[in-house]
Amino acid sequence: MGFYVPENVVTNDDLSKLMDTSDEWIRERTGIEQRRWVIPGEDSTSGMGVKAARIAIEKAGLKPNDIDFIIFATLSPDYYFPGPGVQVQEALGIDTIGALDVRNQCSGFVYALSVADQYIKTGMYNNILVIGSELHSGGLDKTTRGRGVTVIFGDGAGAAVVTASDDPNRGILSTHLHSEGKNAKELALIGPATSRWVDQIMAEHDEKDLSYYPYMNGNFVFKNAVTRFPEVIMEALNQNRLKPEDISLLVPHQANLRISQFIQKTMKLRDDQVYNNIMKYGNTTAASVPIALTEALENGRVKEGDIVCLAAFGSGFTWASALIRW
C-alpha cells in the first residue's frame, strides 16, 4: 500500500476567508479540521496516483515492470477521455499492459479491488496495481453558493498492489457490490457530459450554469449512507460466518466523521475497531479507503491475521464492502 497527499494544507479558517462558513460549523457537522488541495497546475489526479503507486510498488518489493495490470478509480480524471490508467502505464514506464478505469466515485476503490481480486483468483494476472486518486479542488464552487459541498472534499491518492498468495487463509475473503441508479442525480456532476450537446453549451456560454459544479443532496445522501454502510458490512460478515466483534479494523470510506460514528454505534464497534482520518484529509472519494488503510498499516493498526473490513458508499448511488484476512 502507499498514499500521497499534496503538501498544501487548507484549514477550515482558510475556507472561511473564501465563503461564509466557520471552523465550528465544519467540525461539528463533518469532523473535518483540514484538507489538502493541490496548488493549481502543480499536480493532477494521474500524477498523485503515480506517486502513491510508486510507494506501493516499492513496499511490495517489486519493480514497475512486475505489474501486469492497472486499475484506476476516480471521479476526477485529468481528461474527459482517456481515463488516467494509461497515464500511469506511461509514467511508470511499464510495458503495454492493460489499464482499466473504474467510475464508481466513493465506492471506486472497493469496486476496483473486487475486479483485481477476481483476476488474481482466475490466474489471469499476478500483480495488479489498484489506484484511487482524486483532484477535487479544481472543480469545486469556492463561493458561499457551493459551501454545502466544497468544505468536505480534499485531494489525494492511495494505491495497493494486489498479489497472488499460496496461503489459502490470507487475502481477500469476499467483496460485495451494489448500486441504485434511481438516485443518480442526488450526488452528481451533470455539466460536462454527452447528455448535453457541446455546441449548445458553447452557444449558451452561461456563467450561471451551475451544472459544472458537483451537486449533492447532503441530507438525503447522509440518510442513505448510514443505512447502506451497516447493511453491506453485515453482508460481508454473514457470508464469511463472522460477527461485528470479529472485525479487527473497519476502514470506512471517509465521507463524514458523523457517518463513521453512526456506523460504529449501530454495529456496536469499539473505538479501536474503526479507523478515521477524515479530520486531516477531508473526503477524498475514491482515494479515501486506500489512504486510510495505508495510514492504519503505518500506524501499526493492522497485523497479520487481522480481519479488515473496507466499506464505501457514494454517488450512483453505489456501495460496496471487502473483507480481508491480512
Catalytic residues: 106, 253, 283
Q: How far apart are CA 306 and CA 251, in angstroms?
A: 13
Between residues 59 and 258, which has the closer beta carbon with respect to ligand UT7?
A: 258
Span 233-272, contacts to ligand UT7 by CB under 6 A: 255-256, 259
Query: What's the rounded Cα separation, in Å, for the pair 192 and 189?
Result: 8
Report which residue's Cβ sits closest to ligand UT7: 218
DSSP-assigned letter for residue 244? G
Residue window 123-162: x/- pattern of binding to ligand UT7, with contact defined by CB under 6 A: ------------------------xx--xx----------
Torsion of CA 7, 12, 13, 18, to 10 degrees: 90
* CA distance linking residue 57 with residue 94, whole number of Å: 12
**In angstroms, what is the minimal distance from the CB of 30 to ligand UT7?**
5
Complex with ligand UT7: residue 98 or 148, whichever CB lies closer:
148
Q: Give the whole-angstrom CA distance, residue 19 versus residue 214.
A: 17
Per-position x/- string for 187-206, each x denoting binding to ligand UT7 as judged by CB under 6 A, each - no binding: x-------------------
Cβ nearer to ligand UT7, comparing 21 with 127? 21
Of the pair 79, 220, the CB lying nearest ligand UT7 is at 220
Q: Is residue 320 a contact partner of residue 308, using CB atoms and an 8 Å limit?
A: no
Q: Are 32 and 257 in contact (CB under 8 A)?
A: yes
The single-letter code of the amino acid at 277 is N
Minimum CB separation of residue 270 from ligand UT7 in Å reads 23
**Residue 290 beta carbon to ligand UT7: minimum distance, rounded to whole angstroms:** 15
Q: Are the C-beta atoms of 20 and 144 separated by less than 8 Å?
A: yes
For cell 451551475, the residue is 210
Cα 16 from Cα 69, distance rounded (Å) = 43
Size of the site for ligand UT7 (CB under 6 A): 20
Query: Binders of ligand UT7 among 21-80, rule CB under 6 A?
Result: 21, 25, 29-30
d(CA 295, CA 219): 29
CB 99 within 8 A of CB 89: yes
Shortest approach of ligand UT7 to residue 97 CB, angstroms? 31
Minimum CB–partner distance for residue 303 and ligand UT7 (Å): 29
Helices and strands in the chain, H and E counts: 11, 13
Q: Considering the rule CB under 6 A, would residue 106 count as an interface residue with ligand UT7?
A: yes
Applying CB under 6 A, which residues contact ligand UT7? Answer: 21, 25, 29-30, 106, 147-148, 151-152, 187, 218-219, 221-222, 225, 255-256, 259, 283, 314
